[in-house]
Amino acid sequence: MSRMTPFSSPLLLGFDAMEKTLERLAKSGDSYPPYNIERLRGSEGAAERLRITLAVAGFAEEDLDVTTEENQLVVRGRQTDETEREYLHRGIAARQFQRCFVLADGMRVLAAELKNGLLSIDLDRPEAERLVRKINISVKD
């Protein structure tokens, strides 16, 4: 028996990559680092703006990497373990993370800022132009 998916309709063409992305997101259960996503209200008629804020306490600017890869925003954090320290108790681990956000077509990353242990990434999506294109029909005998 085949499994029905939201994209299994024959009317939805070319959405197989989206379906794979949704399956991958459903399987990822890591909740570190915690984050917020907020809508930034702007003036009427302005492009939609979003802000992603990640709690990255203990990470310096050089420990963080923010990139876009195809339709994903990828935030990576790498901390190195300082070997010259001798801990009597270690409750704060030097850890790595990778957090991916799938971006809709047309989304742009405007800026990233690290302040007080919070990494804020601003995005926007300008209004897309409506394209209507006439397709010529050829007749073959």
Span 46-75, pLDDT tens digits: 777 999 999 999 899 999 999 998 888 999
| pLDDT the model gives residue 2 | 57
Tell me: the pLDDT tens digits for 73-104? 999 999 877 778 888 888 877 789 999 998 98
Q: What is the DSSP letter of 89?
A: -
Task: Strands of the chain (E only): list them.
Answer: 35-40, 48-55, 64-69, 72-77, 97-102, 108-115, 118-125
Q: What's the pTM?
A: 0.72
* 34 confidence band (pLDDT: 50, 70, 90): very high
Closest by Cα among 98, 126, 118 to 52: 118
**Pairwise CA distance, residues 13 & 91, whole Å:** 50
